[in-house]
Amino acid sequence: MPSSTTWFIFGITLVFLTVTRCIADGKLRKSKYKNIIFVGPTGIGTVIGFFQLLLGTRDFIQEGYDQHYGKLFAIPTLFQMTIVVSGHDLIEDIRKASDDQLSLYGSIKEGMQTDYTMEPHILENPYHFRFIHLSLTRDLGGRFPELKEEVIAAFSELVPPTDGEEFILILRDFSSNKSRDWTTFPAWLTGKLVVLRVVNRLFVGPSLCNNSDYNEINDAYSDALVKTALIIGFTPGFLKPIVSRLLDVYIPKTLRRAMKHISPLVEERLEKEKLFGADWAGKSNDLLSWLIEKTPESDKLSVTTIKAITIRLLATMFAAYRPASMALTQALFDLATFPVYIPELRAEVESIVKEEGISKDSIGKMYKLDSFIKESLRLRAGGKASMPRKVLKDFTFSNGTTVFAGSSIIAPGYAIHHDARHYSNPADFDGFRFARLREEQDDPVRYQMVSVGPTFMMFGNGRHACPGRFLVSALLKTMLAHVLMTYDIKLEHNGRRPTDKWYTFSPAPNQTAGLLFRRRSAPSC
């Protein structure tokens, strides 16, 4: 590792080059984009403005949305032009644009710096995401018993339903509180571990999903990926190879740890395939099996192949578990903050479970629960930037404004979700908002959680809407249904909802707050 002196000298050099480059880039952008509104400082002030936006001290996206709704406007960013697109018609232009004009994968490549944080071919051929879109989504009903089983097992171990005199400390490094038969558990850590277990059950099977080291690796990989991408993203292009080499320790180290778990599992499955055929009895229908099948026969046991499979597993998990675990934690906070909804939600869940049990079809009938979770997502999830696209070819919007190749565009998701033009009393939590709209307009599809459109952008919009939203919906409804039937729940600190934390453009649930759980006498689902 470089010495602290080397890092200091490098940092000073980097800051000088960054400021110099930003001033030059700012002048070029200003002259090229004469018809674009600039919100916030320009020139050398761009650097200050960018960090104001990044640190949340000034929200240029919301300012631009309030002042220039229905138009395109630029915000302060480093090394590239970032344009915010607002208004229904212009957002529809993004949805309709071809991939060779406005590229989602180009935006992901730039945002996650995949040339430096992953193998280049991972994003060039992201066939692992097709497992979510094609195999898992279509067979979710068949996989549902596994999902349900793991949800029950995970909550039973991580949030043991304690009686008055029982207390089991499952999660270390947390100051636990026990008052009568209420027990405090760390909300974010608990939600994260539950989601890690359940999603890994569908990705790598039962033998590995409950392995604490492997789940810790998934979490560590996600953190390393985000931090590395952020640092490299702040670096001028000509310095990125140097910076990436200085940082080239965190992701490879985590990857090697993960390969130690994946390699024997691949060998075991290939051995069974050799002995009993391709469709051997008990073969797991999970992401790992799907990735093995896509690998040429001659390469299946090579180190390069194991590495490629592991990267795709970790990358898919990164995309799946972080949004789901944040959404679960926020929904649990909202359930505890607004207990007035609990009796009606519980009555809906218990009535349906009594008649049909817990299944993909039965949770699809839990309209009020679906509405409650969607409202939580609307208020607290997604982030300030939605529908990111990289402009690959000059593109002219329907209002005549042209954006040039090399720039980036985003839709202001958070501002849209808090806009009174789309939602009455948008700042208020209205848990049955979407259930009422569904009933009033007799539209069972438009207002469900997985539906996307220009006014609900948690999962994007159009053909590139998140293919994992059906899995996320099933996960969240199954987990919340289980909590409602198994526990009573309330907030710490006299009922004050923990304040969300903002990281760059995205909100996250409070990571230190706890929730109090108490076992109910009624049986769980």
70: phi > 0 → left, psi -120 to 50 → alpha, else beta; which? Answer: left
Q: What is the pLDDT of residue 114?
A: 86
Look up residue 191 and give its two tokens.
């939600």
Look up residue 361 and give its two tokens.
């079809």
Angstrom distance (rounded) from CA 455 to CA 434 = 13
Name the CA radius of gyration of the chain, rounded: 24
Where are the alpha helices (H) located in 357-501, listed in sequence order?
360-363, 367-380, 413-417, 433-440, 469-486
Q: What is the pLDDT of residue 227?
A: 86
CA 48 to chain centre: 28
Q: Is the pTM of this model over 0.75?
A: yes
Task: Using CA atoms of 261, 262, 263, 264 in order, give the dihedral in degrees to the nearest 10.
Answer: 60
> What average pLDDT values come out for the chain (525 residues) when binned by 10 residues?
57 61 59 82 79 84 95 86 94 95 92 82 71 76 91 93 42 44 91 95 92 94 87 80 77 89 90 82 83 70 79 89 93 96 97 93 95 96 91 95 93 96 96 95 90 92 88 95 96 86 84 92 58
Q: What is the pLDDT of residue 209?
A: 93
Angstrom distance (rounded) from CA 58 to CA 459 = 25
Q: What is the pLDDT of residue 447?
A: 93
Angstrom distance (rounded) from CA 295 to CA 301 = 10
| Sign of the C-alpha dihedral computed for residues 431, 436, 438 and 441 taken in this order | negative
Q: Specify which residues 501 forms β-bridges with.
A: 508
